[in-house]
């Protein structure tokens, strides 16, 4: 029997790439991330940006309009130009929370995502210091890009879809690559900026000997990771470079290399989430890896009934040529602008022609072409601000925050992700700069002196429950993780030293 001729007559059938399951999983995960982001902000927005909060959104918008006039509507794209009351701020966060469930459940997913993009951009715009994190802009961009990827049908499986409502078109190749290019930009730029920054800790592979204790809000696992031997810390940095510099390039190779790239990048993000409370950032990065996987892999883990329902709801009606051209043009434009932004981030603004720089600048308020590059320079110390209040200027009592180290050195690092305690995060940055660079800290102190309840809710321990203190001052301490011996003897997770004045004693001005 001639095996070669038999094989030639019956070639092994190769299943074509399909992304219905991949898209379904991506959208469910993106809905969960929006749920965590909106619900988290809902519990904080009045204290942060309400009329009695630290940075009132109303005042911010008034200042921008006073400086720029009508141009402010483009520079600060937000629905809060129409209404900026505390009730409306709160309502937007809860509407976003409800719409997130629509995406999770697969009900009017496209319109829900469009609304979520508008609402989250509106919140990020008026949040000021408290929404100036890369993760916030990243969520806006990922949501906008997903609008080209979503099926735009009324219902998605597992809901029964009547034949008359079936609109499940397969995602276009261009929309898939739009999301892939985003994850490539974020990961590759994060690796490249570490090298180009010239930071010695990344160069000599010692960065992780500092990272676990100096990151904004470590988890309890970070204490254990900090105790690992130096050779393992250096090996971990090499693994990070593999995930951030090599794996993103494999996205363009395809096949098993792309699956390997997705696995390596997702593994890095999982380890980051295990040792640090980076809100929804790591989960969003893992979600962005999903479009790298096609259905041939996912069919092995998805329930058969869900697979049948997804493929059964698909229609293959040809897309009108003008619509396909318009969508592909928009996607090509976004990829081009994003590429320019990445080049400017890594090589400087002069590396891009002036008309392209102007295009990027024009679109920057919309947060759909953000620049990325995480952890370019490693923080090697951990200063923390400790606030104290007094009624007589002699006896001082310390405030305690929910998630950052303070005078209770036995309190372990918390688990808070995907919730983002935005005040605690911003105080981590403020501690590394003089108070003159962070005037919002004075606004926070003013609210404490006024006894603002919505601001006091951010505290774990408020020693002045009955009435606010007359004076407040602040010191900065350097914090370090303890070693195993110290912790076993004292129970301390932290040790602190180098007490120095951050804010001298202040009080409210009394009108005479």
Residue 5 has a pLDDT of 45
- Beta carbons of 371 and 186 less than 8 angstroms apart: no
Can you give 331-367 as a three-state secondary structure string?
A: HHHHHHHHHHHHHHHHHCHHHCCHHHHHHHHHHHHHC
Measured distance CA(108)–CA(110) in Å, rounded: 6
Residue 85: both structure tokens together? 């009351």
Measured distance CA(307)–CA(347) in Å, rounded: 45
Residue 397: both structure tokens together? 């009592």
Residue 370 has a pLDDT of 83
- Beta carbons of 217 and 425 less than 8 angstroms apart: yes
Measured distance CA(485)–CA(367) in Å, rounded: 48
- What mean pLDDT comes out for the span 115-136? 94
Say which range, 46-60, 146-160, 246-260, 462-476, has the weakest mean pLDDT: 146-160
Q: What is the pLDDT of residues 55-81, one digit of tens each?
A: 999 999 999 999 999 999 999 999 999
Residue 152 has a pLDDT of 76
In this prediction, residue 12 has a pLDDT band, given cuts at 50, 70 and 90, of very low
Residue 344 has a pLDDT of 87
In this prediction, residue 323 has a pLDDT band, given cuts at 50, 70 and 90, of confident
> Is 80 exceeded by the pLDDT of residue 164?
no
Residue 15 has a pLDDT of 61
φ, ψ at 99 (rounded to 5°)? -65, -30
In this prediction, residue 309 has a pLDDT band, given cuts at 50, 70 and 90, of confident
Residue 277 has a pLDDT of 95
Residue 356 has a pLDDT of 87
Measured distance CA(30)–CA(103) in Å, rounded: 8
One-character DSSP codes across 151-180: ---SB-TTS---GGG--BPPPPHHHHHHHH
- Beta carbons of 205 and 194 less than 8 angstroms apart: no
Q: What is the pLDDT of residues 237-284, one digit of tens each?
A: 999 999 999 999 999 997 899 999 999 999 999 999 999 999 999 999
Closest CA to 390 of 464, 339, 322, 444: 464
- What mean pLDDT comes out for the span 392-409? 92
Say which range, 8-12, 362-366, 381-385, 465-469, has the weakest mean pLDDT: 8-12
Residue 9: both structure tokens together? 């007559």
Residue 315 has a pLDDT of 65
- What mean pLDDT comes out for the span 29-55? 96
Residues 6+ apart with CB under 8 A from 71: none
Residue 166 has a pLDDT of 54
More confident residue, 369 or 34: 34
Residue 4 has a pLDDT of 46
The SS3 call for residue 201 is: helix
Entry pTM: 0.92
- What mean pLDDT comes out for the span 441-449? 95
Residue 1 has a pLDDT of 40
Strand pairing of 459-461 and 400-401? antiparallel
CA 507 vs CA 342, 400, 441, 503: distances in Å: 46, 20, 14, 11
Triad 170, 173, 175: Cα angle to 5°: 85
Q: What is the pLDDT of residues 194-250, one digit of tens each?
A: 998 889 999 999 999 999 999 999 999 999 999 999 999 999 999 999 999 999 999
Q: What is the pLDDT of residues 285-298, one digit of tens each?
A: 999 999 999 888 88
> Is 70 exceeded by the pLDDT of residue 317?
no
Residues 6+ apart with CB under 8 A from 502: 385, 431, 435, 474, 475, 476
- Beta carbons of 393 and 489 less than 8 angstroms apart: no
More confident residue, 511 or 233: 233
Each residue of 90-110: b (16+ CB within 10 Å) or e? bebbeebbebbebbbbbbbbb
Measured distance CA(139)–CA(131) in Å, rounded: 12
> Is 80 exceeded by the pLDDT of residue 130?
yes
Measured distance CA(218)–CA(299) in Å, rounded: 36
Residue ranges of domains in the chain: 20-366, 383-506
- What mean pLDDT comes out for the span 391-403? 93
One-character DSSP codes across 188-200: HHHHHHHHHTT-H
């Amino acid at each position: 029997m001639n095996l070669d001729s038999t094989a030639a007559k019956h070639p092994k059938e190769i299943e074509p790439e399909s992304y219905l399951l991949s898209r379904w999983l991506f959208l469910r995960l993106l809905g969960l991330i929006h749920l965590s982001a909106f619900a988290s902000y809902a519990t904080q927005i009045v204290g942060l940006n309400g009329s009695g909060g630290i940075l009132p959104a109303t005042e911010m918008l008034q200042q921008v309009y006073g400086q720029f006039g009508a141009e402010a509507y483009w520079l600060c794209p937000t629905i809060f130009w129409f209404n900026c009351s505390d009730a409306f701020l709160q309502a937007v966060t809860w509407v976003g929370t409800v719409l997130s469930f629509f995406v999770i459940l697969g009900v009017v997913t496209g319109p829900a995502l469009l609304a979520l993009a508008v609402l989250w951009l509106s919140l990020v715009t008026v949040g000021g210091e408290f929404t100036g994190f890369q993760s916030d802009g990243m969520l806006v961009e990922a949501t906008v890009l997903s609008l080209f990827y979503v099926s735009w049908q009324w219902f998605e499986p597992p809901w029964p879809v009547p034949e008359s409502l079936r609109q499940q078109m397969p995602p276009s190749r261009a929309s898939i690559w739009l999301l892939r290019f985003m994850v490539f930009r974020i990961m590759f730029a994060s690796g490249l900026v570490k090298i180009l920054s010239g930071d010695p800790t990344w160069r000599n592979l010692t960065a992780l000997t500092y990272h676990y204790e100096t990151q904004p809000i470590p988890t309890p696992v970070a204490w254990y990771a900090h105790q690992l031997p130096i050779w393992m810390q250096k090996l971990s940095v090499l693994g990070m470079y593999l995930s951030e510099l090599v794996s993103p390039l494999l996205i363009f190779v395809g096949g098993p290399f792309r699956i390997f790239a997705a696995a390596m990048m997702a593994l890095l993000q999982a380890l980051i989430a295990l040792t640090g409370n980076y809100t929804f950032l790591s989960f969003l990065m893992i979600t962005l890896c999903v479009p790298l996987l096609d259905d041939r892999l996912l069919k092995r883990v998805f329930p058969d009934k869900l697979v049948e329902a997804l493929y059964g709801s698909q229609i293959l009606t040809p897309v009108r040529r003008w619509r396909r051209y318009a969508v592909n043009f928009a996607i090509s434009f976004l990829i081009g602008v994003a590429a320019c932004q990445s080049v400017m981030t890594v090589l400087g603004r002069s590396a891009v022609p002036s008309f392209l720089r102007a295009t990027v600048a024009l679109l920057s308020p919309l947060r759909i072409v953000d620049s990325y590059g995480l952890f370019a320079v490693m923080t090697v110390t951990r200063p923390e601000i400790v606030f104290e209040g007094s009624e007589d200027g002699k006896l001082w009592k310390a405030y305690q925050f929910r998630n950052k180290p303070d005078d209770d050195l036995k309190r372990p690092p918390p688990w808070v992700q995907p919730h983002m305690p935005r005040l605690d995060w911003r105080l981590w940055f403020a501690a590394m700069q003089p108070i003159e660079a962070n005037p919002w800290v004075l606004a926070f102190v003013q609210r404490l002196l006024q006894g603002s309840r919505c601001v006091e809710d951010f505290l774990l321990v408020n020693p002045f429950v009955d009435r606010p203190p007359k004076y407040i001052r602040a010191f900065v301490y350097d914090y370090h993780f303890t070693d195993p011996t110290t912790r076993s003897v004292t129970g301390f997770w932290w040790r602190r030293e180098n007490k120095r004045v951050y804010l001298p004693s202040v009080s409210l001005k009394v009108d005479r």
